[in-house]
Amino acid sequence: MDKLPQNPFQFFVLLLFFASGFASGQSGDNVSITLADLQSLKALKSEFIDSKGFLKSWNDTGSRACSGDWVGIKCVKGQVIAVQLPWKGLGGKISEKIGQLQGLRRLSLHDNGLTGPVPNSLASLPNLRGVYLFNNRLSGSIPASIGRCPVLQTLDLSKNQLTGTIFPSIANSTRLYRLNLSFNLISGSIPVSLSLSPSLTFLALQYNNLSGSVPDSWGSGTENKTYQLQILNLDHNLISGKIPTSLSKLGSLEMLSLSHNRFNGTIPNELGALSKLQMLDLSDNVINGKIPESIDKLQNLSVLNLKNNHFNGQIPETLGDISTIAQLDLSNNNFSGEIPNSLSKLPQLTSFNVSLNNLSGLVPLLLSKKFNSSSFVGNRQLCGYSPSFPCPSPPPHQILPSPSQDGSKHRHHKFSTKDITLIAAGALLVVLLLLCCALLYCLIKRKAKAKGVNGKNATQAKAVPALGAEVEAVGEAGGKLVHFDGPFIFAANDLLCATAEIMGKSMYGTIYKASLEDGNHVVVKRLREKMAKGQKEFEAEVAELGKIRHPNILALRAYYLGPKGEKLLVFDHMPNGSLASFLHARGPETAVTWPTRMKIAMGVTRGLYYLHTQENIIHGNLTSSNVLLDEQSNPKISDVGLSRLMTTAANANVIATEGSLGYRAPELSKVKNATTKTNIYSLGVIILELLTGKSPSEGTDGVDLPQWVASIVKEEWTNEVFDVELMREDTFNSSDELLNTLKLALHCVDPSPAARPEAKHVLQQLEEIKPELVAISGDDGAKDSSKCDKRTSYMSELD
Ligand SMILES: *[C@@H]1O[C@H](CO)[C@@H](O)[C@H](O)[C@H]1NC(C)=O
Ligand SMILES: *[C@@H]1O[C@H](CO)[C@@H](O)[C@H](O)[C@H]1NC(C)=O
Ligand SMILES: *[C@@H]1O[C@H](CO)[C@@H](O)[C@H](O)[C@H]1NC(C)=O
Ligand SMILES: *[C@@H]1O[C@H](CO)[C@@H](O)[C@H](O)[C@H]1NC(C)=O
Ligand SMILES: *[C@@H]1O[C@H](CO)[C@@H](O)[C@H](O)[C@H]1NC(C)=O
Ligand SMILES: *[C@@H]1O[C@H](CO)[C@@H](O)[C@H](O)[C@H]1NC(C)=O
Ligand SMILES: *[C@@H]1O[C@H](CO)[C@@H](O)[C@H](O)[C@H]1NC(C)=O
Ligand SMILES: *[C@@H]1O[C@H](CO)[C@@H](O)[C@H](O)[C@H]1NC(C)=O
Ligand SMILES: *[C@@H]1O[C@H](CO)[C@@H](O)[C@H](O)[C@H]1NC(C)=O
Ligand SMILES: *[C@@H]1O[C@H](CO)[C@@H](O)[C@H](O)[C@H]1NC(C)=O
Ligand SMILES: *[C@@H]1O[C@H](CO)[C@@H](O)[C@H](O)[C@H]1NC(C)=O
Ligand SMILES: *[C@@H]1O[C@H](CO)[C@@H](O)[C@H](O)[C@H]1NC(C)=O
């Protein structure tokens, strides 16, 4: 049987043909065949080699030729309009005399053994619409003149042995709809004229010897025409050069295959405009660069094959937004970074391959379950997808050190990605378990929590001596107050006479909340006298600290130097208190949602990133008590740069004792100086705190928080890792986010400082995990930093 017509116009023509050709049932046309047509058919038969005898019916003088007795012949009014002899085992040649069939519309001789050339005389057939000669052994070149056929719609010469080039004039047939020259030996380049044809809907030139570059004029032939091209297949040729940007104008394109060529350059970002594209195959070329961001606009993409190229950069997370993807092959490129977890959410993914790249980290759990190791091998730093490729795992005795070990001996365990796989599995189980017995469980938890809170409050609410009194004691006269920019205007007396309550004490000194005359609150930190540097040094350092402005760093607004060397620092007051109390000392009715926790994690990271990169400041003591929250729970890192105000001895002391708080990186027991990496460790602990709801110093059976999490992973991973509150709220859909954040936090508390990520990477990953939070906070940051650049810091000396 012939191929079914695919365009409406062609279908209409066939209907006409049936209507006229078979108006009287099976009898056909009872008009005698014209002499020219009879001669032509006889010539055809004489040049065919009909070894199976299919043409035996072409035996009489021709009186029956148009009456339906001659196999494969259809006539209208004595003119042959169709010659259809597929699968007839015909050999020999197609006679040039075919040009005499002036009424011929359809020539279908596919799937035979015909040899010789495609007759030139086809070009003289004014009504020729369809030529189906595929799967023969035709040779020679495509007749240059075929473009003269004014109504030619389909030319399928695929699977022959045609040579020569494609003449530009082939596109002179302005109704050309399907051009299939695939599986031949055609050489030369693709004529520009084909790229300009508005009617062309299927262009199949694969498996030839085409070379040169692809014209970059697709869809720009005629103004105001819509271009129909749905399939463009150029694979298995020798085509080189760039992928033409103009392909993006082919709004109907559903399949684009350029594989097995020599395409180089990058994927044009504009290809994102191909919203109907279902298949994009660029495999086996030398294409480089990144997968463009616009890829996620291809919302109907089902097959994406980029294998065997030189692509680099990260696999875009947004690929996971194309829910239609069923096959994804990125193998044998130079992709780096991690496999985005978003890919594991692709509902229709049935084939996946990222082998032979430069990927790292843990394979997302669902992907490693669904696909065997053949999809992942050949990435030196990728692990956890099969027992033969485990993530590096430490000997078991390190995982749960005895609780009797003191802080200085803490050996932090490196959590392997395999461990994290276990966490993932465990956490999923937890989610399920919790769903099952949620009500009972939650009620019990609520009660327990309420009790804990009350106990904590009792120790925290303290008697309230007035700040004024304390300052009076050291004498007021002759002091010096220096303001940095900020909203507050107060004189030294205002500050010293303000009512104040103690908020807490730290290694650096005592912290007060002071209520000014005008009703504003500020936080005043009184530094321990013996620990601070001398006045000159102190003033130089504090002036620098007063310039730091960032939305996630608590602003230093002023300082006061008393006549006897007392030193007060004045900061913004944060109504929501510290993260530690926000998280651990609240009523059971105030839940902290997952987005809030993520916002805090991102904010702290952003602040730290700013400190490390813009201010070159290492935080001396990053803990959840030093992260304060404003009305919207935006975090502000406090105690920034305080170590600069202190003597070296004082700082060593702080670092030494800080360990007991559970935020101290293990290497600080050997080296005395905090680094960006010890800060990252502390950040990791804070993120773990946000995830687990547990304070690093309590509720973890005497081990520190990272070790506690590790013990859960290793020993009893059905236990809860995440804060039960996060399981209670509607975070079931966020379980990937939770897992990825946990993974990231564990990366931050890696015992090896070198293995810990930079703040920048932590931020990037958090933003990838919860991108919907980025727009808001990112804007904030941008606004503030521009303000920061323009700011001319001033110091106005009062008193
Ligand atoms: C066949 O031709 C005769 C006249 O030549 C005409 O009367 C008749 O209707 C035709 N039959 C068909 C089926 O077209
Ligand atoms: C022509 O072929 C047909 C069908 O094969 C057959 O019925 C008929 O007898 C043949 N006529 C002659 C003259 O051979
Ligand atoms: C194709 O069209 C061009 C211009 O329209 C003309 O110059 C050329 O001769 C045509 N070629 C054929 C083979 O008809
Ligand atoms: C072109 O021809 C090849 C081989 O005959 C066939 O597999 C393919 O489906 C055809 N493509 C189009 C668009 O006609
Ligand atoms: C293919 O083209 C190259 C040059 O582009 C030529 O060297 C080679 O002989 C061609 N192969 C065939 C089978 O035509
Ligand atoms: C194309 O359309 C625009 C506006 O629709 C019109 O101004 C222009 O003349 C058209 N061009 C042609 C060649 O029809
Ligand atoms: C890409 O291919 C073209 C054609 O072979 C070549 O001229 C060009 O130098 C190549 N570009 C790169 C960057 O390799
Ligand atoms: C997407 O592709 C499907 C076939 O896979 C098709 O039915 C649907 O119309 C396409 N949608 C768009 C918007 O092109
Ligand atoms: C892979 O990419 C890295 C940079 O990310 C580059 O240094 C390296 O040369 C690339 N390797 C190959 C084989 O292209
Ligand atoms: C792998 O990627 C890293 C950075 O991501 C790069 O430094 C390294 O050169 C890459 N390795 C190879 C073999 O391309
Ligand atoms: C991996 O899966 C692929 C296809 O899913 C299969 O062809 C292959 O045999 C499998 N390999 C192993 C080692 O199981
Ligand atoms: C993945 O790709 C590699 C290289 O392209 C290939 O060897 C391997 O068979 C592929 N595996 C699967 C499951 O497709």
**Where do the domains of the chain lie?**
189-280, 290-391, 456-573, 575-797
**pTM of the predicted model as reported, rounded to 2 decimal places:** 0.57
Distances (CA, A) of 583 to 551, 600, 637: 21, 11, 16
Indicate whether residue 334 lines ligand 9 (CB < 6 A).
yes
Distances (CA, A) of 107 to 27, 119, 600, 721: 21, 12, 72, 72
Indicate whether residue 657 lines ligand 1 (CB < 6 A).
no
Nearest CA residue ID for atom 10, ligand 6 = 224
Query: What CATH architecture applies to the domain 456-573?
Result: 2-Layer Sandwich (3.30)
- Which 8-state DSSP code applies to residue 278? -
d(CA 250, ligand 3 centre) in Å: 25
Indicate whether residue 60 lines ligand 2 (CB < 6 A).
yes
Indicate whether residue 139 lines ligand 5 (CB < 6 A).
no
Distances (CA, A) of 143 to 64, 150, 169, 769: 33, 15, 10, 59
d(CA 650, CA 785): 32
Indicate whether residue 314 lines ligand 9 (CB < 6 A).
no
Q: Which ligand is nearest to the CA of 375?
A: 12
- Helix crossing, 705-714 with 676-692: angle to 10°? 60
Nearest CA residue ID for atom 1, ligand 9 = 334
Residue 453's pLDDT is what? 36
How many residues comprise the chain?
799
Q: Which ligand is nearest to the CA of 361?
A: 10
Closest alpha carbon to 279 in 306, 255, 260: 255
Nearest CA residue ID for atom 5, ligand 5 = 211
Token pair for 738: 């939770």
CATH superfamily of 575-797: Transferase(Phosphotransferase) domain 1 (1.10.510.10)
d(CA 61, ligand 1 centre) in Å: 20
At the topology level, CATH places domain 189-280 in 3.80.10
Domain 290-391 has CATH 3.80.10.10: yes
Nearest CA residue ID for atom 6, ligand 5 = 209
d(CA 126, CA 150): 6
Indicate whether residue 350 lines ligand 11 (CB < 6 A).
no
Nearest CA residue ID for atom 1, ligand 6 = 224
Closest alpha carbon to 740 in 637, 636, 598, 626: 598
Distances (CA, A) of 134 to 2, 158, 641: 11, 5, 78
d(CA 170, CA 356): 43
Indicate whether residue 790 lines ligand 2 (CB < 6 A).
no
Q: For residue 761, report the phi and psi dihedrals to the nearest 5 degrees.
A: -70, -35
The DSSP secondary structure of 147-174, one letter per residue, reads GG-TT--EEE--SS--BS---GGGGGST
Residue 466's pLDDT is what? 33
Residue 347's pLDDT is what? 92
d(CA 220, ligand 6 centre) in Å: 13
- Per-run averaged pLDDT (10 residues), the chain, 799 residues: 39 36 44 91 96 90 85 91 94 96 95 97 95 97 93 96 96 93 98 93 97 94 82 98 96 96 96 96 97 94 97 95 96 96 93 96 90 92 82 41 35 44 48 39 40 36 32 48 77 74 75 78 83 85 89 90 83 87 79 89 93 88 88 89 81 62 80 86 91 76 74 54 70 72 89 91 88 56 32 25
Q: Report whether 679 contacts 619 (CB < 8 A).
A: yes
Token pair for 224: 């105001």
Nearest CA residue ID for atom 8, ligand 9 = 334
Residue 662's pLDDT is what? 82
Token pair for 516: 């000014």
Residue 317's pLDDT is what? 93
Nearest CA residue ID for atom 14, ligand 5 = 185
Indicate whether residue 374 lines ligand 11 (CB < 6 A).
yes
Intrachain domains 189-280 and 290-391 with the same fold:
yes
Closest alpha carbon to 370 in 405, 393, 343, 404: 343
